[in-house]
Amino acid sequence: MAGEIKNFDSPDETRPFEGKGKADVVNIGGHVVGKAIFEPGWKWSENVKPIAQTDSCQVSHLGYCLSGGMTVHMDDGATIEIGAGDVFAIPPGHDAEVTGDEPCVSLDFGEFGEYAKRA
């Protein structure tokens, strides 16, 4: 069996957030990989919660931040700061928001299959 290559310039799917960004998705090798672009001012509870219809994000994320920054607010009160170059693992049960005035761009190899996917 030959290898497989895909490119985010031609994603299998694009999932727009409720304003302020999008997620491009590729399905490869039996896995779903997302490239998310969170624009300045993006906040999960405002821009994805209407899509997810849960009180907080219930998806686990395993990813790499390419640029920008984000603050993750866990349901238990803990806070995680993510910046360019960081590899992160975030369990379900959180809100998040972009910090700073540049987009936060990240790759997500976690449970991205249903993230921001409209019914």
Question: In a structure prediction context, what are the per-residue pLDDT tens digits for the chain, which is 119 residues long?
Answer: 689 999 999 999 999 999 999 999 999 999 999 999 999 999 999 999 999 999 999 999 999 999 999 999 999 999 999 999 999 999 999 999 999 999 999 999 988 888 888 87
- Compute the distance between CA of residue 35 and CA of residue 37 in angstroms, rounded to an integer: 7
CA distance 9 to 40: 22
Domain covering 36-114: architecture: Sandwich (2.60)
Query: Which residue has 């920008």 as its token pair?
Result: 68
User: Which ranges in 1-119 belong to alpha helices (H)?
Assistant: 44-47, 49-52
- pLDDT, residue 1, reads 63
pLDDT value for 110: 87
94 has which bridge partners? 57, 74
- pTM of the prediction? 0.93
Alpha-carbon distance of 46 to 31, in angstroms, equals: 28
What pLDDT score was predicted for residue 114?
A: 84
The two tokens of residue 104 are: 């936060």
